């Protein structure tokens, strides 16, 4: 796929000023400017956040009401249940709130809807069951902001509901006792993009302040709050930056037995945002995708190291199963695309019999990345279809579903990712309607853009310079890992590895050689050969093998040099 390489338009004077004022190398200052981090206080908090940089939790709407109600429930020993989601954000949210309440003498219950049978969020059947078990207070985490009817149903059964969520609300918010969400239309909270577990963190921070507890009573959970925040792919700036930066320090020395065993099992050499995103998160998410979300909660709650080790092993097995199912569906999808010449269509809408509903979202994401088109995959079981979709920048997928909702039973999500259900008989009508909407949006001119921080000559790069970039970690949304352009490198060796999936190269430059790896770029082995001169965009990393550190380029794109 053709990608457009584009430089940031950096203010050179501002770069020099920041470099001098904060005693930073100019290339680090340039990256800060490229990320629009230019104000003195902003830079200070970005580079060295402290626990004093958290906002006052009582700035969130309804926080006073929620705290008072929870303290009342604690004092009266009322039955409290936490209603969460089955992804990493939801699971860490449940764990943090449950453990915090247990420290206050309340053994709270929790409920996670079954992804495959119940789907996301509150539902009346679950609420009825919760009521029958004598619970008086429901606290939602990472869900609930659009559950208008479900909250009313809980009210009708005599229960109180406190909603904590971070998803986009509709015009009407639920008639709950309290609704805590920084994205409320009437919110004046300074930061809108907390993860669900970030909102829970603000809740326990507020309760701690009200009860005049020591700061450690809520700060000790930053390891799990950090895991949920990074995994949910929210912008790692502002208060999320504080959570992630401080939280990762705790993750490395975590006292949570289950998290410690899981980290040990993934065998990452360095515990950073990449280890969370590609090591920890997929294993926790695999539980929910395979219908075993409860196992992940048990992992983080247990104090028994043997039990923790066994559950961590199970999580790894679920992840292997998920990968196997995902690979099979992906291969089947590619065959359908090729047989029906669908790569020439403006979007890719596919249906398959008995595809695993918990996995098709990942496959849709891969299809979108491969073809740079919006894609929706639907799994059919009898006459019913459940689907997941992913989009490209510049096309609002949720809005497109709104316009084609006449053929859908249910749908939800946002601009870049959606879930939906439909009757099998409406599949072709939906597809035709959807592709008509895509045609009107004229997305064919949208080309993926790789933003380049700087062009670099490898002869000027040292190991210390690359280590200096650790000041900018953790990387994630709105704080992307710095991408550099390297020109006129000669291919010394090139091969595909991992069954042709990845690309491995040795590249020669004026003063030596450097290794390079291109993940999921194995097909390029047919397009390049030894002695080719190439331009490469990617990031620099340190590859440690047998206690020997070597620089390596992690390739994002490459093309033959124009001589």
Kindly tell me if the per-residue pLDDT of 378 is higher than 70: yes
CA–CA distance, 295 with 229 (Å, rounded to integer): 20
Neighbour count for residue 49 (Cβ, 10 Å): 18
β-bridge pairing 454-455 and 484-497:
parallel
CA–CA distance, 541 with 519 (Å, rounded to integer): 14
Domain covering 53-251 in this structure, CATH number: 3.90.1640.30
46 and 37 in contact (C-beta within 8 Å)?
Answer: yes
Contacts of 483 (CB under 8 A, 6+ apart): 450, 451, 452, 453, 537, 538, 539, 556
Mean pLDDT score of the chain, rounded to an integer? 92
pLDDT of 137 reads: 97
Q: What is the pLDDT of residues 257-297, one digit of tens each?
A: 999 999 999 988 888 998 999 899 999 988 888 878 889 99
Q: Six-digit token pair at 106?
A: 């309340």
Q: Tokens 């770069």 appear where?
A: 15
Which segments of 117-195 are extended strands (E)? 137-141, 160-164, 178-180
Residues 232, 235, 239, 243: is their CA dihedral positive or negative?
positive
HEC assignment per residue over 389-443: EECCCCCCHHHHHHHCHHHCCEEEECCCEEEEEEEHHHHHHHHHHHHHHHHHHCH
| 517 sits in which H/E element | strand 512-518
pLDDT of 291 reads: 79
Q: What is the pLDDT of residues 451-508, one digit of tens each?
A: 999 999 999 888 998 989 989 999 988 899 999 999 999 999 999 999 898 999 999 9
The dihedral over CA atoms of 261, 265, 270, 271, expressed in degrees to the nearest 10, equals -40
Q: Six-digit token pair at 406?
A: 């006449």
pLDDT of 267 reads: 84
Which of the four pLDDT bands, split at 50, 70 and 90, describes residue 358?
Answer: confident
pLDDT of 305 reads: 96
Rounded mean pLDDT, 212-239: 95
Distances (CA, A) of 486 to 28, 301, 517, 552: 18, 47, 14, 12
pLDDT of 50 reads: 95
* Among 486, 484, 504, residue whose Cα is nearest residue 495: 504
pLDDT of 309 reads: 95
User: Could you tell me the pTM of the whole model?
Assistant: 0.88
Kindly tell me if the per-residue pLDDT of 1 is higher than 70: no
CA–CA distance, 73 with 34 (Å, rounded to integer): 48
With a pLDDT cut of 70, the percent of the chain lying above it is: 99
Which DSSP state fits 277? I
**H-helix segments, 189-304:** 196-210, 216-219, 222-231, 238-251, 257-266, 273-275, 281-289, 293-301
Q: Tokens 């098709």 appear where?
A: 360
pLDDT of 2 reads: 67
256 and 223 in contact (C-beta within 8 Å)?
Answer: yes
User: Which architecture, in CATH terms, is 4-48+450-560?
Assistant: Beta Barrel (2.40)
pLDDT of 558 reads: 95
SS3 of residue 6 by DSSP: strand
Q: What is the pLDDT of residues 61-93, one digit of tens each?
A: 999 999 999 999 999 999 999 999 888 999 999
- Could you tell me the fold of the domain covering 340-445? Diaminopimelate Epimerase; Chain A, domain 1 (3.10.310)
pLDDT of 269 reads: 82
Domain limits, the chain:
4-48+450-560, 53-251, 252-338, 340-445
Which DSSP state fits 278? I
123 and 150 in contact (C-beta within 8 Å)?
Answer: yes
SS3 of residue 479 by DSSP: strand
* Among 152, 143, 151, residue whose Cα is nearest residue 120: 143
* Among 188, 158, 169, 151, residue whose Cα is nearest residue 63: 188
Residues 131, 133, 139, 141: is their CA dihedral positive or negative?
negative
Q: What is the pLDDT of residues 512-544, one digit of tens each?
A: 999 999 998 998 999 999 999 999 999 999 888
Higher pLDDT, 417 or 483: 483
| 449 sits in which H/E element | strand 449-452
Which of the four pLDDT bands, split at 50, 70 and 90, describes residue 410?
Answer: confident
Q: Six-digit token pair at 96?
A: 């943090």
* Among 427, 291, 274, 281, residue whose Cα is nearest residue 359: 291
Long-range contacts of 314-320 (CB under 8 A, 24+ apart): 315/262, 315/265, 315/283, 315/284, 315/286, 315/287, 316/265, 316/283, 318/283, 318/286, 318/287, 318/289, 318/290, 318/292, 319/282, 319/283, 319/286
Burial status of residue 251 (CB atoms within 10 A of its CB: 0-12, 13-18, 19 or more): buried
Contacts of 22 (CB under 8 A, 6+ apart): 29, 43, 47
């Amino acid at each position: 796929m053709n990608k457009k390489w584009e430089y940031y338009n950096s203010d050179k004077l501002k770069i020099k000023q920041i470099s001098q004022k904060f005693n930073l190398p100019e290339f680090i200052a340039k990256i800060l400017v490229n990320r629009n981090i230019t104000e003195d206080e902003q830079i200070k908090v970005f580079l060295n956040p402290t626990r004093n940089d958290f906002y006052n939790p009582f700035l969130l709407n309804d926080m006073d009401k929620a705290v008072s109600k929870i303290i009342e429930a604690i004092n009266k020993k009322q039955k409290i249940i936490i209603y969460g989601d089955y992804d990493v954000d939801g699971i860490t949210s449940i764990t943090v709130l449950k453990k915090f309440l247990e420290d206050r003498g309340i053994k709270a219950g929790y409920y996670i809807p079954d992804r495959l049978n119940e789907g996301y969020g509150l539902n009346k059947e679950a609420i009825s069951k919760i009521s029958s078990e004598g619970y008086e207070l429901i606290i939602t985490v990472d869900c609930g902001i659009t559950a208008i009817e479900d909250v009313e149903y809980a009210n009708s059964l005599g229960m109180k509901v406190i909603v904590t969520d971070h998803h986009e609300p509709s015009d009407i918010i639920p008639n709950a006792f309290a609704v805590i969400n920084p994205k409320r239309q009437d919110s004046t909270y300074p930061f809108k993009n907390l993860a669900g577990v970030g909102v829970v963190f603000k809740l326990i921070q507020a309760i701690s302040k009200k009860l005049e507890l020591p700061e450690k009573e809520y700060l000790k959970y930053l390891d799990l709050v950090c895991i949920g925040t990074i995994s949910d792919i929210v912008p790692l700036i502002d208060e999320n930056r504080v959570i992630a930066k401080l939280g990762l320090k705790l993750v490395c020395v975590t006292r949570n037995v289950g998290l410690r065993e899981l980290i040990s099992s993934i065998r990452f050499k360095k515990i950073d945002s990449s280890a969370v995103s590609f090591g920890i998160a997929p294993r926790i998410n695999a539980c929910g995708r395979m219908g075993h979300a409860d196992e992940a909660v048990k992992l983080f709650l247990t104090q028994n190291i043997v039990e923790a080790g066994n559950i961590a092993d199970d999580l790894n097995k679920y992840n292997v199963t998920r990968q196997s199912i995902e690979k099979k569906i992906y291969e089947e999808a590619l065959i359908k695309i090729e047989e029906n010449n669908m790569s020439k269509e403006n979007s890719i809408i596919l249906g398959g019999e008995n595809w695993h509903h918990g996995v098709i979202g990942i496959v849709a994401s891969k299809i979108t990345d491969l073809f740079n088109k919006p894609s929706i995959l639907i799994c059919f079981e009898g006459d019913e279809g459940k689907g997941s979709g992913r989009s490209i920048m510049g096309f609002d997928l949720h809005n497109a579903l709104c316009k084609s909702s006449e053929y859908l039973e249910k749908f939800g999500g946002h601009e870049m990712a959606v879930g939906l259900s439909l009757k099998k008989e409406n599949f072709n009508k939906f597809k035709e309607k959807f592709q008509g909407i895509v045609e009107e949006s004229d997305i064919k001119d949208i080309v993926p853009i790789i933003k380049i921080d700087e062009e670099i000559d490898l002869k000027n790069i040292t190991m210390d310079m690359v280590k200096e970039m650790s000041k900018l970690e953790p990387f994630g949304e709105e704080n992307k890992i710095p991408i550099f352009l390297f020109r006129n490198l000669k291919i010394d060796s090139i091969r595909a590895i991992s069954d042709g999936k990845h690309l491995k190269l040795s590249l020669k430059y004026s003063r030596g050689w450097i290794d390079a790896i291109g993940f999921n770029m194995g097909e390029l082995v047919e397009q390049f050969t030894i002695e080719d001169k190439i331009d490469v965009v990617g990031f620099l990393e340190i590859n440690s093998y047998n206690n020997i550190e070597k620089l390596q380029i992690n390739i994002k794109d490459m093309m033959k040099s124009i001589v």
